[in-house]
Structure 1
Amino acid sequence: MPTTIPAAGSLPWRVRDHALEVALVHRPRYDDWSWAKGKLDPGEDWASAAARETHEETGLRVRLGVPLPEARYTLLDRDGKPGDKVVRYWAATVVGGDGRLVNEIDDVEWLDPRVAHDRLDYARDREQLRALVRHHQAGTLDTWPLVLVRHAHAVARGAWDGELDTLRPLDREGRARAAALVDVLGAYVPERVVSSPSLRCVDTVVPFAAGAGMKVRTRNGLSEEGFADDPSKAVRRLQKVVAAGRPTVLCSHGPVLPALLEVVHALAGDADPGDLARLEAAARERLVKGEALVCHVAGAGPSARVVAVERHLP
């Protein structure tokens, strides 16, 4: 039975002189033009791998945007055994990097989509290109990430002998998840991290924030206690994030998340059925502890709309 080989990549895009361009890579080993991509490391998240592989192959640091169609095809491994390769792709915007080529790639070119269509060596790669162009035409390609995080697994209330529940810490499983979230959140390059002041929330996102050189901004309205006192504060906090339109991580608690997800759902009228289903499932579950729900938002304020949704589960 063929094994599954997971891989991930991205389609970096930009607009120059009002014209859309995409970045293709050339692999001298195969003498082909394709998208930047590569295999997942053991235990690695798909999105983390997409951002990492893009940087390794193009020298460009990217922020992942809307997901694009995945590719599936059969290939032979080094022992001649067949494997089913599954490659997940994202649209991506360049946020940094020097463009220095260091890993298996000898050329990167920014091309008009029509030229890129003809340059690609594999028909399967054109499906992602067509989807990216459709997003551009629909005004849903240029997005920013709103990431809702439920705090990771904490010491059980019954096992906690501290005086204040707000000081209840993450347990070993929760600390491991907080460490894993560093690369997951990093793939979307957030600019702000906002959290409930409860220790289990702050400690879920502080490893990412510290590594990115950011402070965790705490807001009492996102805590269980603050929400119980005034549920509208958490909603207003999220509305302020949407009004600002800046890439943001917001970490809170299970009892608070349904109110926040109602706001997100109201913005998701343009999302496709699969995205709506993911959003509704997350709402039913109040997100899984340690989950990051990535909502890709086009526009800000009154014009903001959620156009795609991803769930990153522990």
Structure 2
Amino acid sequence: MSTPIPAAGTLPWRRRRGQLEVALVHRPKYDDWSWAKGKLDPGEPWPVAAVRETVEETSLEVGLGRPLPGASYTVLDGAGQPATKEVRYWAAEVTRPPGPLTNEVDEVRWLDVVAASDRLDYARDREQLRALVRADHAGTLTTWPLALVRHAHAVGRGSWPGEDPLRPLSAAGRDRAAQLGALLAAYAVRRLVSSPSVRCTDTVRPYAALRGIPLRTKDGLSEEGYEADPTRAGRHLERLLERGVPSALCSHGPVLPDLLARLCDRVDDTEPDAGATRAVLREAAAEKMAKGEALVVHLAGTGAGARVVAVERHLP
């Protein structure tokens, strides 16, 4: 068996007259109904591929929500040999009206979940639908993402003659910042807050420029500000939780474990994967996150009622 073929896709969902509906695609080449999905381009992150493939197959622009169960099955590779295809899925909400269909899909159809289950041609595709329906029944299908970002690799402290907050990204750090822009776009992030240190602001500035959104700096998220008053960083996090809009927060290794611990306390214990979610947050905190890492927390609710229902680590 050859190396697994990575692919990603989404289950776009909406409510129409109070009824939950999902979007299926029909592929004339196979005469089947399934979810929008496709193979990753070389070096492409899974979430970026999921959004790109959804646009290409359905013309629906989406923002990723909570992750759903994946699928693994056998296909024939380009040489006609058996290979394992591994697909990761996300729930997704449409962010812009659709355009004309292109590529290999000739029809996109919105169906209620019962009709969708009947229409799907592959039993494996019903697992993602069941998970989406379970989340809906639990009141945790509607979520919003909060991405905690550790700044990308910077010029070394020993080789930088200026003040530490002015220390810039290295060439590798700038490359990672560009990659993070595409990743944050997959989650339709609309609010950016950052430590004022140059290595932090320059990590998320490419995304700010891409989407034309302001980059707000907070002294409490800097290393110096955290050392002077550790409570300020937590207050900045709480304000984001109160707003409840897709957000990204960029800070430093010494600061992020505190914020991750606060989020760990908000894990929804009614979720089947609550233990694993808490373990991921604790592991990331123990490691102080990797430079250039984005940890995406999916939250249901806002303010004091905000609960963590899933988490993803995206390492450089």
TM-score, normalised by the number of residues in structure 2? 0.97
CA contact (8 A) 2:261 2:282 kept: no
Partner of 1:240: 239
The AA in structure 1 aligned to 2:309 is V
SS at the partner of 1:3? coil
Q: Give 1:52 shift.
A: 0.7
1:311 to 307, 310, 313: 313
| Aligned equivalent of 2:284 | 282
Instruction: Return the alpha-carbon distance in structure 2 between the equivalents of residues 79 and 258 of structure 1.
Output: 47
Unpaired stretches in structure 2, ≥5 consecutive residues: none
Paired residue secondary structure (1:259): helix
Percent identical pairs in the alignment equals 63
Partner Cα distance (1:97, 1:313) in 2: 32
1:220 corresponds in structure 2 to 219
Describe the superposition over 1:1-53 as per-residue Cα deviations: whole angstroms up to 9, x where unpaired. 32210000000001111111000000011110000000000000000000110
1:289 CA displacement: 0.6
> C-alpha displacement at 1:258, in angstroms?
1.3
Tell me the SS of whatever aligns to 2:121. coil
User: Equivalent residue of 1:95, what SS?
Assistant: strand
Is residue 230 of structure 2 the alignment partner of residue 231 of structure 1?
A: yes
Alignment deviations for residues 241-274 of structure 1 (CA, whole Å, 9 cap, x no partner): 0011111100000011111112111111335222
| Gap regions ≥5 residues in structure 1 | none
The Cα offsets for residues 100-151 of structure 1, whole Å up to 9 and x where unpaired, read as 2111111101101110001000111000000000010011110000110000
**CA positional deviation for 1:98:** 2.4
Q: Superposition RMSD on alpha carbons, in Å?
A: 0.9
Equivalent residues in 2 for 1:88-237, closer than 5 Å: 88-162=88-162, 164-237=163-236
Structure 1 residue 182: deviation in Å? 1.2
1: CA distance, partners of 2:233 / 2:284: 18
Q: Secondary structure at the match of 2:142?
A: coil
Task: Find runs of 4+ consecutive structure 1 residues off by over 3 angstroms.
Answer: none
Please name the residue that 1:4 is paired with.
4
Rounded to whole Å, the distance in 2 between the matches of 1:191 and 1:78 is 40
Matches of 1:169 and 1:215, distance apart in 2: 20
Residue 153 of structure 1, CA deviation: 0.6
User: Following the alignment from structure 1 to structure 2, what is the Cα–Cα distance between the partners of residues 70 and 202?
Assistant: 34
Question: After the TM superposition, which of the residue ranges 28-37 and 271-280 deviates more from structure 2?
Answer: 271-280
Matched-pair contact (CA < 8 Å) for 1:194–1:216: yes
| CA distance, structure 2, for counterparts of residue 210 and residue 78 of structure 1 | 39
Q: What residue number does 1:44 align with?
A: 44
In the TM superposition, residue 78 of structure 1 has moved relative to its aligned partner by: 3.1
Partners of 1:140 and 1:129 in 2: CA distance: 14
Quick one: distance in 2 between partners of 1:92 and 1:99? 17
Contact 2:28 2:104 in 1 (8 A): yes
1:185-208 residue CA offsets vs partner (Å, 9 max, x unmatched): 110001101000000000000001
Corresponding residue SS for 2:64? strand
Residues 195-250 of structure 1 show CA distances to partners (whole Å, capped at 9, x for unaligned) of: 00000000000001100111211111100011111111110010010011111100
Contact 1:3 1:82 in 2 (8 A): no
- 1:22-33 residue pairs with structure 2 within 5 A? 22-33=22-33
CA distance in 1, matches of 2:191, 2:79: 47
194-203 or 78-87, which deviates more: 78-87
